[in-house]
């Protein structure tokens, strides 16, 4: 997984001009099944018992109708959102990730058997597509996409691919390719691919004259990506329906950071002096639903009801915080602090965080529950390659 040292450069380039004008799993997948309140989700045994009330007592109706005289006042509700500092060594162990992930050189999780990525090249991104797997690997000064069948055989190589996104059910995948000089310098233009059958050639569209292409999501039958028309100018959202001969530029959505399944997008609006602001916008109108200068909008849960957010300033090895916001109004639901290289929704209620304590330290994929903030280890702490897939 490449370090995130280049993120600020891209953001500054995108906002320098714009400042005057920013996959997931199916919801039915089960979440964590172990641990304690305020430390990790409820255990399977506890989850089968009657739901506790705010005081922690069972809500079952007692046999008698007599009302006991309260001896102590009821506990007060929390005065504000809960914030949690994650200590990896103290977290309990829960179930393995239900999304695709990479451990070592083996693609695990999701639907299908484990698949090993052949070769020795660095692996940048992975995803499932049917019974096959997709892997972006280093190739010379650039990258290529490997399509790998369930026996571990490479069935297709696609040069220049840098990113993959999948639909929520992993039934379809989109990926984007760019061209580079032999020195690794980017050339203008991009090719966007989309497909459902790994045994068939994907559909594609060539988009000339764009720079800094960033693939965002594949939702509602459309592929969304952000790009700029000049190498250092502001960017905007693009929309492509696979099969169409052209893409649509949505200029009303500048500097797009993420697109949801319910027609909203995070848009970076300002960046200066270790701070940024972003808006939640309606797609395609660009109507502002709410702003935030406390966090940067980076993603959404599959149902679009929760916004995933990072720190308002992003630079360096990893993010110091990850947050969940209410998509209705931007209210903070929970914030976690630590060192996070990725934050991906596992389903509508749970986030997966690729966490460690710094470069060259053991890492784990951590599962956190949005409603409670409780977390657990979804993979053991390891120093080997670890990556959450699309």
User: Residue 380: pLDDT above 80?
Assistant: yes
Q: Give the closest residue to 301 by CA, choosing from 330, 318, 324.
A: 324
User: Residue 334: pLDDT above 50?
Assistant: yes
Cβ neighbours around 46 below 10 Å, total: 14
Percent of the residues in the chain that have a pLDDT greater than 90, as a whole number: 68
pLDDT, tens digit (0-9, with 9 covering 90-100), for 75-130: 334 445 689 999 999 999 999 999 999 999 999 998 889 999 999 999 999 999 98
Burial of 64 (0-12, 13-18, 19+ CB in 10 A): exposed
- Residue with the larger pLDDT of the pair 341 and 276: 341
Q: Mean per-residue pLDDT for 38-58? A: 35
Positions of E strands within 276-363:
276-282, 288-292, 295-300, 306-311, 319-326, 332-345, 350-356
**C-alpha to C-alpha distance for 341 and 339, rounded to whole angstroms:** 7
Q: Give the closest residue to 105 by CA, choosing from 91, 115, 90, 95.
A: 115
Given CA atoms 282, 286, 288, 294 in this order, what sign does their dihedral have? positive
**C-alpha to C-alpha distance for 15 and 21, rounded to whole angstroms:** 9
The model's pTM is 0.79
Find the helix or strand (DSSP H, E) in which 8 lies: helix 7-18
pLDDT, tens digit (0-9, with 9 covering 90-100), for 211-225: 999 999 999 999 999
Give the distance from CA 38 to its chain's centroid: 23
Burial of 385 (0-12, 13-18, 19+ CB in 10 A): middle
**Contact between residue 174 and residue 192 where contact means Cβ atoms under 8 Å apart:** yes
């Amino acid at each position: 997984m490449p370090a995130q040292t280049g993120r600020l450069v891209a953001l500054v380039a995108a906002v320098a001009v714009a400042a005057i004008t920013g996959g997931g799993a199916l919801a039915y997948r089960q979440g964590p099944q172990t641990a304690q309140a305020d430390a990790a989700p409820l255990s399977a045994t506890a989850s089968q018992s009657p739901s506790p009330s705010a005081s922690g007592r069972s809500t079952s109706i007692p046999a008698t109708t007599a009302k006991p005289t309260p001896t102590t006042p009821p506990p007060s509700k929390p005065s504000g959102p809960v914030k949690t500092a994650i200590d990896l060594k103290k977290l309990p162990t829960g179930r393995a990730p239900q999304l695709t992930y990479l451990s070592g050189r083996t693609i695990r999780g999701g639907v299908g058997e484990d698949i090993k990525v052949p070769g020795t090249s660095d692996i940048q991104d992975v995803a499932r597509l049917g019974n096959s797997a997709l892997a972006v690997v280093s190739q010379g000064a650039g990258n290529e996409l490997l399509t790998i069948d369930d026996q571990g055989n490479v069935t297709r190589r696609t040069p220049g691919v840098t990113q993959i996104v999948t639909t929520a059910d992993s039934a379809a995948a989109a990926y984007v390719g760019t061209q580079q000089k032999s020195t690794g310098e980017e050339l203008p233009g991009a090719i966007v691919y989309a497909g459902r059958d790994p045994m068939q050639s994907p559909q594609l569209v060539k988009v000339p004259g764009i720079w800094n292409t960033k693939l965002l999501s594949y939702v509602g039958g459309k592929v969304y990506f952000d790009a700029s028309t000049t190498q250092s100018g502001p960017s905007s959202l693009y929309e492509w329906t696979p099969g169409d001969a052209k893409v649509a530029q949505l200029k009303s959505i500048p500097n797009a950071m993420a697109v949801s399944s319910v027609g909203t997008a995070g848009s970076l609006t300002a960046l200066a002096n270790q701070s940024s602001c972003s808006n939640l916008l309606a797609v395609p109108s660009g109507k502002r639903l709410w702003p935030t200068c406390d966090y940067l909008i980076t993603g959404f849960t599959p149902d679009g009801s929760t916004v995933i957010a990072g720190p308002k300033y992003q630079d360096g090895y990893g993010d110091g915080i990850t947050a969940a916001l209410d998509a209705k109004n931007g209210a903070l639901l929970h914030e976690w602090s630590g060192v996070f290289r990725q934050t991906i929704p596992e389903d509508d209620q749970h986030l997966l965080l690729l966490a460690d304590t710094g470069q060259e330290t053991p890492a784990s994929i951590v599962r956190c529950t949005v409603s409670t903030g409780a977390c657990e280890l979804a993979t053991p702490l390891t120093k080997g390659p670890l990556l959450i897939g699309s």
